[in-house]
Every structure is written in structure tokens, then in C-alpha cells.
Amino acid sequence: MNWSSKIITHKGSKRIAVYFDKNAELIVRIKKFDGARWSQSLMAWHLPDTQENRERFNLSPHSHSLPSVEGMEQIEKFKQWLRSKRYSESTLKTYSEALKSFLIFYRDKSIAEITNEDVIIYNNEFILKNYLSASYQNQIVNAIKLFFATGRATKIEIDKIHRPKRSKPLPNVLSKEEIKAILGALTNVKHKAMLSLIYACGLRRSELLNLTFGDIQSDRKLLIIKQSKGKKDRIVSLSDKIIEILREYYKSYKPKKWLFEGQQGNTKYSDRSLEEVLKKSIRLAGINKPVSLHWLQHSYATHLLENGTDLRYIQELLGHNSSKTTEIHTHVSTKSIQNIKSPFDDL
């Protein structure tokens, strides 16, 4: 697939423009990048000008080189191993690109001779010098640990590879009044059903778009979410209220395969269109916050917690492997905090 990229100034901001002939696969991939936008005037997709995006689109001097022949061969073997383990293609791409960056840095060194000290040097001389994020560094660590754990001869002590300290921002949460305003602003039955279902069941974007009508068991008041994060199935409850909204939607649209289909039929509703639905509803509701679809899921979890739902049940409903992932919502639950009396009031 042929494509090109360059750094531009668009509407007063530095951006990276990516040019390619219309290609469905590339469009799906580029939409997944944070801040990706289509410009009709430029006739190109464009993204924020960050070091990571420069790496992705070959605009960094470092990224123009390739690993050694040995490195390229080992990356291909690593990709085959990942596929045999049934890793998703997106994970495979993330890990192989991360490993490629590391092996480019050590293209003049035999892989079997790479040590833990080399990992530290790479972090200091490449990651930190280029102001790359802790999350990007963490991806590199994941790739290195998995690569060197696949049975090859190495001097690396995998357990001693350290991870960067990561910031722990609180998840963004909307109040119930704000959720009500967002959903109430929508008059289109389909749009209302989509956003309502995300909040009502705590769904991720991909989980919503991958639903089929057969996943709804209205007689049992259950929604079956298949092969979600970590390739796990899970079930969540459906309230009478959301079932009624879905019935109204079905009567109007009668989807054939996917629960929410695109305009052409038999195709999934697109990520991009779903984001536009949310943007419209936020604007109509008069909410001046950078709300994303993730906010609806975070709000679902936090509101459950405030209603007294046990954290273990919330963990199951969200499909989290670890309770630590779920526990972050305890930090944004305001019910208990609001009941605490400040000693200032006694002065």
C-alpha cells in the first residue's frame, strides 16, 4: 500500500498530513490514532505532530533506518509466534513495531549479546531524549519482555527489565444529570439507542459496534458480549427501559446482521460516525467538556458504585482481569466524599 506523509501547518497548528489513495484498511487504521482528522481542503488525513506520530509515519531521522538482517528475520519469526498464540492483529502490529524501534537502535549488535544495560541505555538515549511518553515506553517494554521470553538465546534477564512510572489520572466521569441531558438531546432513534446502550451496559466502543441482534436476550434481560477485550465473553443485564429503547429502534431500522449497521446495510456502523453522534449530542446538551465514548463507560461504573453495587460485580460487568483496574473508580465516586464533614465547618 503506497502512502506518503509530511509535517504541515493546518489552521494554525503543526500537524502530520498522511496521503494515500482511498483504501478501506488504511482508513480504519488511521482512525484509531488519537486526534486523527480528515480534511476536505487538504484531501488528506492529518494527526497531531508528536514524536510518536513522527515515528509511525517515518518522519523521524531514526525511523528511516531498518534493523539488521538478523533483526528483520527475528521480527518476522516473532510475528509468526504471536499469530500462533492467537494475539490480535492490532496487538501484533503494536508489538512488532515497538520491537522494530528497539532493534533499529541496536542494529549493529547481535541480538544474543543485548543485555539489560542496553535496555536502560535505549530508554535514556532514545525514549527520554525524544520526549516519548511513558505509555510508549511501556509498549516497548512489553514487546522486549515477550520477544526475549520466546526461548531464544539471550543475556537479558527478563524479570529485571523495569517499567516506567506511569501517571495515574482519574477517569473522567459525567454526572447522572449530564448523561440524561446528552441522551435526551438526541431525537434520532438509532443514535439514542447506541449511546444509551453504551451507558446502560458499560460497553466499549468496539463492543457496541460488534453486537449482533442475536446477542440480545430480552426474555432473560441479558446482553451477551462476545470475544471482547482479552478474547473473553461476558454478560451484562438489560433493564426494561433499555429493552424498550432497543425495540423501538428495531421497529424503525430492522437491522439484518449487525445490531447497528452502516448506511449501506450488512456493514458495521463506523467508529467515526459513532464519535460524530456523541459530538452532536454533547453540543445539543450544552455541555462544554471534551467528552469521549470512554466517559460513558467510566460514568456507568462510577454510578454503579455510588448506588452501592459491590466492586467485584462491577469488575465482572466490565470484563476486567484485575480488581485494581476497577478500583480506580472508587477514587471518583463522590457519594462517600460528599458525606464527609470538613473540620472547617466546626470553626
In-domain check, residue 224:
yes
Is the same domain home to 119 and 250?
no
* pLDDT at residue 271 in the model: 86
Is the same domain home to 40 and 139?
no
Q: pLDDT tier at 153 (50, 70, 90 boundaries)?
A: confident
Residue 78: closest CA among 142, 13, 10: 142
CATH number (domain holding residue 271) = 1.10.443.10
Structurally, the chain folds into a number of domains equal to: 3
Q: Evaluate whether 282 touches 291 at the Cβ level (below 8 Å).
A: yes
Residue 214 pLDDT greater than 90, yes or no: no
* pLDDT at residue 170 in the model: 57
* pLDDT at residue 233 in the model: 77
Q: Which of 40, 60, 80 is the last residue of a domain?
A: 60
- What is the average pLDDT across 27-35? 82
Longest dimension (CA), the chain: 73
Q: Which of 97, 125, 160 is the last residue of a domain?
A: 160
Is the same domain home to 131 and 25?
no
**Which run of H or E residues covers position 90?**
helix 89-105
How far is the C-alpha of 157 from the C-alpha of 173, rounded, in Å?
41
* pLDDT at residue 314 in the model: 59
Cell numbers representing residue 163 in the block = 517499567
- What is the average pLDDT across 21-39? 82
The contacts of residue 8 (CB under 8 Å, 6+ apart) are 14, 15, 16, 17, 42, 46
* pLDDT tens per residue across span 258-307: 999 988 777 889 888 999 999 999 999 998 888 888 888 888 877 877 76
Strand partners, 18: 5, 45
Is the same domain home to 123 and 184?
no
* pLDDT at residue 334 in the model: 46
Residue with cell 438526541: 186
How far is the C-alpha of 198 from the C-alpha of 174, rounded, in Å?
14
- pTM above threshold 0.85: no
Is the same domain home to 255 and 299?
yes
Residue with cell 441479558: 222
- What is the average pLDDT across 243-265? 89
Angle at 269 between CA 265 and CA 274, to 5 degrees: 150
Share of the chain above pLDDT 70, in %: 81
Q: Evaluate whether 225 touches 319 at the Cβ level (below 8 Å).
A: yes
Residue 340 pLDDT greater than 80, yes or no: no
Higher-confidence position of 253 and 89: 253
* pLDDT at residue 1 in the model: 46
- What is the average pLDDT across 192-213? 89
Strands 44-48, 216-217: pairing is: unpaired
Residue 31 pLDDT greater than 50, yes or no: yes
Cell numbers representing residue 270 in the block = 463506523
Q: Evaluate whether 52 touches 136 at the Cβ level (below 8 Å).
A: yes
Give the range of the structural domain holding residue 100, as residue numbers without chain letter: 65-160
